[in-house]
Amino acid sequence: MSLTVVGSIAFDAIRTPFGERERALGGSATHFSLAASYFTEVRPVGPVGDDFGDAEYDVLRRHGVITDDIEHVGGGKTFFWAGEYEWDMGTAQTLDTQLNVFGDFAPKLSERARDCDLLFLANIQPDLQRDVREQCGNVQAAALDSMNFWIEKTRDSLVKTIGVVDMVLMNDAELRMLTEEPNLVQAAAAVRAMGPRVVIAKQGEYGAALFTEDGFFALPAYPLETVRDPTGAGDSFAGGLMGYLDSQGGATDDATLRRAMTYGSTLASFWVEEFGCERAERLTREEIDDRYEQFKRITAIESVPAT
C-alpha cells in the first residue's frame, strides 16, 4: 500500500505565548508525511526552492518519507508562512503568506506517486489539488483539506475539487465558512451533498467529529497538559488518520475510520507539545501505540459502570 500527498512544503515563522521560531520546517505536506510515515510509505508532492537543503530533506528521509516527487525549482524560494497564536491557541492569525515557488507550480507526478492507493490533497491552491486528483485516476480513496485563505480567494474551484474526492477533513469553522451554514451538522451535510461520502470536522482542542451516511462519531482531543505550538496539528491528524487507513488496506468503513481518527488525534497530541514538527524528531511508534491505548481507555464510554 502507498499514500501520496500534495500540499505545501514550507518554512514557517511561528509565535506563540510559549516561544517563537523564525524558520521552522513546515507546510501541510511536511507535517502530514512525517505523521503518516509511522504507518506506511508516503510520497509528498510539491515544489521547494534553493533555500531547501539537505538538513530539511534529511528530516523527511530519516522518517522513511520518499522525497522523489519533491520538485526543486532552481532560483526559487520555498513557500513561507508566518503565523501567531494568542492565549486561546485555537486559531492562528496569519501574518504573512508568500507562495513563492507555488506561484507557477504545475504538478508532475512520477508513475509511483500516481499509482498510490490513497491520495491526500493537503492544504494548497484547489486547482493544483484537482490537477493531482486527475493524475491519480485509480486511487481507492482521495481526501482533501483546505483553509480560510482558499475559501476566500478560490471558493468555486474548491467546491469543484470537493466534488471529486471521497473524504473532506476540514476545521469546523472552515466548514461553516465554506457552506455559510452556522450549524455544524448541516454544514457537514451540505459538504456531503457536494459529493464526498465522508466529512471529518477538526475541532482543535475539542477533538474531531465524523459524519457519514451511516452515522456520527465524536472524539475528544487527548487531554494534554502541555501545548506549546498548535501549528501542524491538523496536518499531523490527517497524516496519522490516512497513514493508518493505508495500513489497513485503504478501508474507509465507519469502524476503521473511528480507529483512524483516534490515531490521528494521537499524532496531533504529540505534534503540539513542541514547535513545528520538532517532536517528530524523537517520536517512536511505541510511544504512539502507548498513547493510543491510553486514549482508548479514557474514551471508553461503554466501560463506565451503570448506577
Told to check if 91 binds ligand AMP by CB under 6 A, we report no
**Number of residues assigned to the chain:** 307
Closest CA relative to residue 197, chosen from 272, 252, 123, 239: 252
Nearer to ligand AMP by Cβ, of 149 and 206: the residue is 149
The crossing angle, in degrees rounded to 10, of helices 184-193 and 172-179 is 60
User: Which region, judged by CB under 6 A, interacts with ligand AMP, from 63-71, 230-238, 253-261, 279-287?
Assistant: 230-238
C-alpha cell at 59: 528530516
| Dihedral (Cα; 271, 277, 282, 286), 10-degree rounding | 40
Site for ligand AMP in 150-209 (CB under 6 A): none
Residue whose C-beta lies closest to ligand AMP: 26
Widest CA span of the chain, in angstroms? 69
- The piece of 41-49, 126-134, 232-240, 249-257 that touches ligand AMP (CB under 6 A) is 232-240
For residues 125 and 103, give the distance between their C-alpha atoms in angstroms, rounded to a whole number: 10
The single residue among 4, 16, 21, 31 that binds ligand AMP, judged by CB under 6 A, is 31
| Binding of ligand AMP by 97 (CB under 6 A) | yes
Question: In the complex, what is the shortest distance from the CB of residue 194 to ligand AMP, in angstroms, rounded to a whole number?
Answer: 21
Residue 231 touching ligand AMP (CB under 6 A): yes
What whole-number distance in Å separates Cα of residue 34 and Cα of residue 18? 23
Stated as kind and residue range, the H or E segment containing 275 is none
**Residue 8 vs 161, nearer CB to ligand AMP:** 8
Q: How far is the CB of 303 from ligand AMP (least distance, A)?
A: 32
- Contacting residues toward ligand AMP, per CB under 6 A: 8, 10, 12, 26-28, 31, 81, 97, 123-124, 149, 231-235
